[in-house]
Each structure stands twice: as C-alpha cells, then as structure tokens.
Amino acid sequence: MKYKKKLWTVILLLVIWVGIYFNLEKLSALINDISGLSSIKEGYARSIEFFIFEVPKVILLLTLIVFLMGIVRSYFSPEKTRALLEKKSLFLGNVLASVLGIFTPFCSCSAVPLFIGFVEAGIPLGVTLSFLISAPMINEVALVLLFGLFGWKTAAIYISTGLLIAIFSGYIIGKLKLEKFVEPWVYEIKSGKRENEEEKITFGDRIDSGYIAVKDIVSKVWIYIIIGVGVGSFAHGYVPEDFMAGLMGKSAWWSVPVSVLIGIPLYSNAAGIIPIVQVLLEKGASLGTALAFMMSVIGLSLPEAVILKKVLKLPMIFIFFGIVGLGIIIVGYIFNLIY
Amino acid sequence: MVEIKVLGTGCARCNELEKLCYNVAAENNIDADIKKVSDLKEIMSYGIMQTPGLVINGKVKISGKLPTSSTLLNWMKEN
C-alpha cells in the first residue's frame, strides 16, 4: 500500500516537527550552555543566541505552512476559480476573487494568460484585478514570517488589510468602467476549450504536491532567512534603538507615502523583505509605515507592471498602481494611528 | 514523429520544461519535433491559464507545472 505508507510518513514527520518545535527553547538553551555562550556577558553573545533560536524556528514554521499550503492549493486551480467567479455580482465577486487569490496557485509570470482567461470568460475587469492584487500581495511566506517574528496579531492584520485593499481597489476600478484601457486584442481572443480537464488526483498525489512546494519554496528562501535574521540579530546589538525613528517613526507624517513610493521599484520576495522590516521596526520605525513598505515591495512591482503592459494600456497601469498604492497608504496611516 | 509544443513567454519553468522535453526525447530515442511557442495569442488558443503549457500532438497535457520525466516519457510514447 503505497498510499498508506505516504500517510504514515506524513504523520511521523508531523510528530517529529511538533517535538522539535515545542522544545526549541530548551534545545537552544542546551546549545548555549554546552558552548559556553550563556556565560559570556557581551552583546554579541546575545546576538548569536537570538540567531540560534530564531533561524530554526522560522524555517520549521515555514516548512510546515508551505507543506500545508501545497496540499490546500492542490484543491484549487485557476480554472476552478474562474468557474466560481463567473456570474457573480460586482461586490461579492471582488470579495470572492480576493479570498481565492490567497489559495489559487499563482506565479506572476502567468499573470497575462490568467488575465485573458478571466476576462474572456466574462468576469468583470474589477473582479479580475481583485484577484491579481490579492494573489501576489497575500503570500504564505510573508504570513509565516510575520507570525513567527511578530506574533499572530501582526499576521492577522496583514491578511485582513491585504484582503481589504484587494477588494476595494478592484471594486473601485470596476466602478470606473476602464474597459477601454484594456488592449482590444484581449477581447478578440477565442481561447480553445481544454479537453482532459480533471484528471483523477488521489490524496497521495496531494501529499506529493506538498513536498514539491516545500522543495520549491524552502530551497529558494532559506538563504534569505539566514541573511535576514543574521542582519536582524546584528542590528539588535549594534544599531541605536531609535535609528529609524526620525525617518520612519510616527512623527514623520510623510513617511508612509514615501515608503510606498520607495517600495514600488524595489522588487523582492517576501522572505527577503521581512527581516528588513524586522530591523526597521526594532530601530524605531512605526508598524504602519513598515507594513506599508512591505506590502508595496511585494504587492506592487515594476516587473509585474511590465508584464501587465501587454494587456493593459499605460493609463490603466497608472490607475491600477495608484489605487492600490493609495490603499496601502491608508492602511499604513490607520495602523500608525492605532498603535 | 511526436509533435511537442512548449507554451510559455520565457519564464524560468518554461525553459526548464523545454530542456526536459529535449532530454527525455534524446535519452529514449524518440523522434520528436519540439517547438517553443511564445506568441500569446497562440498560447491562449489552447485555453491554458498558467504557463508553461505542454502540448503533445495537439493536446494540452499539463499547464503551470512540470511533469516528471517518466510521465513525460509515457505521454510521448502514447502516440
């Protein structure tokens, strides 16, 4: 029984995971004692201790979430999402598209075929854009890192504000009736119907997609985590506490829009940007400003604009980035007010 | 002869898939005509929404993912 074996392997791995994760503190304390690190009073010893505990914690969390997301995503596909979005009313369509954007497998290199596929099926422009905003901006790697480094509240804020921005930006664009800014050839395309639609997928195959996701993502981002946490633990001891306060603190009212503007040309994956956000926060940047910066870097990117330029005319790209950017700025201000 | 089209506009995985096709065909002495399709209109005519797409003898076999080489070999032999 191949399938049973797979299932037991997963259960065994989960047990090992839980065992390590919930004993990390003890394990790292043990390492610190044996290596004599805990007896050193200097600041660098604290930095190393922080690093030894934080890196395995974040990588463990990431592996688990990416694995589970790989399984969950195998239940979704752009084709199914499209079918769900057909004939939905405007606002409901935006909500559904934004939520599905989290779960549907998406790569920005497929943004154009996906856009055409949606529009051609009669899904309104605004609903399609809600999907295209949510899919890259709400990212499981970012979620895990925020959860691991800042706690569940920050992670929840990130998801809910990301959803709100995707829903309302798409809704507003839908209301503005901007169809004239879509390249006309998009509407002329007659895409063929695919035949062999649903192949049979067993739960064993879904477990495999979990492993593939872990292999794909973790193998790409582990180095960013090590560098990021490394920079973070160094800054921990050596950069003055209020270093960023003047530039990105609450008192600087202009810091939110400036952070968003700076974030657009910067292009990084979530794993690379979050450790930077961590340093910014630790050194006096306010939460709203740091979150706005992060969302702008991962949600709005020049490469994506270039890709979308194939199907959208220039004014539309500006409106798209303008509205999403404005949404991020509003979220940034609200968080600076609350916290 | 097996007619293979790799649909994609130049993403990393599209190139990987093209390479995989060449390798599998060469290793198994399969007479294959492998073409890369990067024209969007032609890509869309196959009804896929994720790249890379793989078309073997006119039929879409997979999109958005890479097949394993054994699956790919089976598809090539089917025809």
List chain A residues with CB under 8 Å of B41.
185, 189
Instruction: Calculate the dihedral angle through the C-alpha atoms of A239, A243, A247, A248, rounding to the nearest 10 degrees.
Output: 80
How much is the average pLDDT of A191-214?
Answer: 76
Instruction: Calculate the dihedral angle through the C-alpha atoms of A326, A331, A337, A338, rounding to the nearest 10 degrees.
Output: 170
Would you state the pLDDT for residue A236? 65
Note the pLDDT tens digit of each residue in A246-300: 677 767 778 899 888 888 887 666 777 777 787 788 777 888 898 899 889 888 8
* Greater model confidence, A169 or A201: A169
Q: What is the DSSP letter of A182?
A: B
Cα–Cα distance, A181 to A313 (Å, whole number): 5
Interface of A with B (CB under 8 A): 77-79, 82, 105, 107, 109-110, 112-114, 116-118, 120, 185, 189-196, 310
Determine contact, residues A65/A145, Cβ cutoff 8 Å.
no
How much is the average pLDDT of A175-195?
Answer: 80
Q: B49 and A190: CB-CB below 8 Å?
A: no
Of A4, A40, A44, the C-alpha closest to A233 is A44
Distance from CA of B14 to the nearest CA of A (A): 10
Amino acid at A11: I
Note the pLDDT tens digit of each residue in A71-94: 998 898 888 899 999 888 889 999
Cβ neighbours, 10 Å, residue A249: 16
Residue B58 contacts A where some CB pair is shorter than 8 Å: no
Cα–Cα distance, A95 to A129 (Å, whole number): 11
We report the CATH number of the domain holding residue B29 as 3.40.30.10
Total count of domains within chain B? 1
Would you state the pLDDT for residue B13? 83
Three-state DSSP class for residue B5? strand
Note the pLDDT tens digit of each residue in A124-154: 999 999 999 998 888 888 888 788 878 888 8
How sure is the predictor about A46, in pLDDT bands with cuts at 50, 70 and 90? confident
User: Please, what's the largest Cα pairwise distance for chain B?
Assistant: 32
User: Please, what's the largest Cα pairwise distance for chain A?
Assistant: 72
Of A111, A61, A107, A131, the C-alpha closest to A216 is A107
How much is the average pLDDT of A228-254?
Answer: 72
Helix axes A314-338, A152-175, angle to 10 degrees: 140
Structural domain span for residue B54? 2-78
Across chain A, mean pLDDT equals 84
Cβ neighbours, 10 Å, residue B69: 14
List chain A residues with CB under 8 Å of B51.
109-110, 113
Q: In a mutagenesis test of the A interface, which of B38, B49, B66, B68 is the best target, namely the one with the most A β-carbons within 10 Å?
A: B49
How much is the average pLDDT of A171-192?
Answer: 85
ipTM field: 0.84
Determine contact, residues B46/B60, Cβ cutoff 8 Å.
yes
User: Phi and psi (nearest 5°) for A178?
Assistant: -100, 15
User: Phi and psi (nearest 5°) for A310?
Assistant: -65, -30
Is the pLDDT score of A198 beyond 60? Answer: no
Closest residue to A113, CB basis, from B12, B51, B59: B51
Would you state the pLDDT for residue A101? 92
Structure tokens at A182: 């879509």
Per the document, the length of chain B is: 79
How sure is the predictor about A307, in pLDDT bands with cuts at 50, 70 and 90? confident
How much is the average pLDDT of A13-36?
Answer: 87
Cα–Cα distance, A288 to A172 (Å, whole number): 23
List chain A residues with CB under 8 Å of B60.
194-196
Distance from CA of A42 to the nearest CA of B (A): 46
Residues of chain B with pLDDT under 70: 79
Closest residue to B64, CB basis, from A105, A191, A193: A105
Of A308, A1, A303, A276, the C-alpha closest to A129 is A308
List chain A residues with CB under 8 Å of B12.
109
Alpha-helical (H) ranges within chain A are 2-21, 24-35, 43-73, 78-85, 90-103, 111-120, 125-137, 140-150, 152-175, 184-188, 203-238, 245-248, 255-263, 270-282, 287-299, 302-308, 314-338
How sure is the predictor about A200, in pLDDT bands with cuts at 50, 70 and 90? confident
Distance from CA of B13 to the nearest CA of A (A): 10
User: Phi and psi (nearest 5°) for B54?
Assistant: -125, 125
Would you state the pLDDT for residue B4? 92
